[in-house]
């Protein structure tokens, strides 16, 4: 949902803990899925311990319910630039498509009680469940079923956190920042040294209006994750 080129900017007051990369994104944003997949793969390849600290840029709080045509068309466009991601279009009945993923985003926040690894792994599992398996990640039971599949997360603790809503304020605190000009879109990554990058490594442009037109893939930089991780590691 964000189509800006790689750009370095100051963090604008966002505080990033050393040893982490702060990631602002929406769970249904295909650009974010590419960035996070490539970042995690590069980290594993380099043997680094850098963790991802996920924050929510909730597109539905800006645009209303998620639009399947827009998401599908972006995924098709990005599939040309990033075939290794393995994007798949939604294959389940239309009425099961998640028009909201706020509860899933809340779950990613709630998992931070168990540590950033649990939160990061749950975020990745939710994205895989949506993009690869067409699972309706807006639904409470689906979210909890996915949590059961994440080794680093305790699904029982997550259930309690979702049911008492303890992470909802963190989600809405993110939105209070997202509506400012600090966050440029999904994804936006912030580093401990105060720099940031919005939608790194991907460039597309639209032909026709969003959701009824289609994105044209222009360029991709596969090396940005290693540069970013080395910078983040100091």
List pLDDT tens digits, range 27-82.
Answer: 999 999 999 999 999 999 999 999 999 999 999 999 999 988 878 888 877 877 78
| pLDDT for residue 99 | 94
**pLDDT tens per residue, range 111-167:** 999 999 999 999 999 999 999 999 999 999 999 999 999 999 999 999 999 999 999
Confidence of residue 12 (pLDDT cuts 50, 70, 90): low
Supply 154's token pair: 């305790």
Superfamily of domain 8-227: Glutaredoxin (3.40.30.10)
State the average pLDDT over residues 173-194: 95
Query: Could you tell me the end-to-end alpha-carbon distance of the chain, in angstroms, rounded to an integer?
Result: 30
Mean pLDDT score across all residues of the chain: 89
Supply 234's token pair: 């100091």
Within 8 A by CB and 6+ apart from 112, the residues are: 118, 119, 167
| pLDDT for residue 211 | 62
Q: What percent of the chain has pLDDT over 90?
A: 71
Smallest Cα–Cα separation from 188: which of 17, 19, 18, 29?
29
| pLDDT for residue 68 | 85
Rama region for 201: left / alpha / beta (φ>0; ψ in -120 to 50; rest): left
pLDDT over threshold 60, residue 7? no
pLDDT over threshold 70, residue 210? no
| pLDDT for residue 79 | 78
pLDDT over threshold 80, residue 218? no
Within 8 A by CB and 6+ apart from 89, the residues are: 72, 75, 76
User: Hey, where are the domains in the chain?
Assistant: 8-227
Confidence of residue 179 (pLDDT cuts 50, 70, 90): very high
pLDDT over threshold 70, residue 13? no
Rama region for 210: left / alpha / beta (φ>0; ψ in -120 to 50; rest): beta
| pLDDT for residue 6 | 32
Please, what is the Cα angle at 69 between 66 and 72, to 5 degrees?
95
Smallest Cα–Cα separation from 108: which of 61, 43, 174, 64?
174
pLDDT over threshold 90, residue 202? no
| pLDDT for residue 172 | 97
Q: Which residue has the higher pLDDT, 80 or 98?
A: 98
């Amino acid at each position: 949902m964000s189509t800006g080129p790689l750009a370095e900017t100051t963090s604008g007051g966002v505080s990033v803990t050393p040893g982490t990369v702060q990631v602002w994104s929406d769970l249904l944003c295909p650009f974010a899925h590419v960035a996070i997949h490539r970042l995690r793969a590069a980290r594993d390849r380099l043997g680094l311990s850098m963790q991802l600290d996920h924050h929510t840029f909730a597109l539905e709080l800006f645009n209303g319910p998620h639009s399947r045509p827009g998401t599908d068309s972006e995924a098709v466009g990005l599939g040309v630039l990033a075939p290794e991601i393995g994007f798949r279009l939604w294959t389940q009945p239309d009425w099961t498509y998640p028009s909201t993923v706020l509860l899933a985003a809340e779950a990613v926040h709630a998992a931070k009680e168990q540590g950033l690894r649990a939160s990061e792994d749950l975020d990745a599992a939710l994205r895989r469940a949506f993009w690869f398996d067409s699972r309706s990640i807006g639904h409470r039971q689906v979210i909890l079923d996915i949590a059961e599949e994440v080794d680093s997360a305790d699904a029982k603790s997550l259930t309690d956190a979702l049911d008492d809503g303890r992470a909802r304020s963190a989600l809405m605190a993110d939105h209070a920042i997202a509506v400012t000009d600090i966050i440029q879109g999904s994804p936006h990554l912030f580093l401990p040294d105060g720099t940031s990058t919005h939608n790194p490594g991907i460039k597309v442009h639209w032909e026709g209006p969003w959701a009824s037109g289609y994105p044209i893939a222009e360029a991709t930089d596969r090396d940005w994750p290693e540069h970013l991780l080395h910078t983040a590691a100091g």
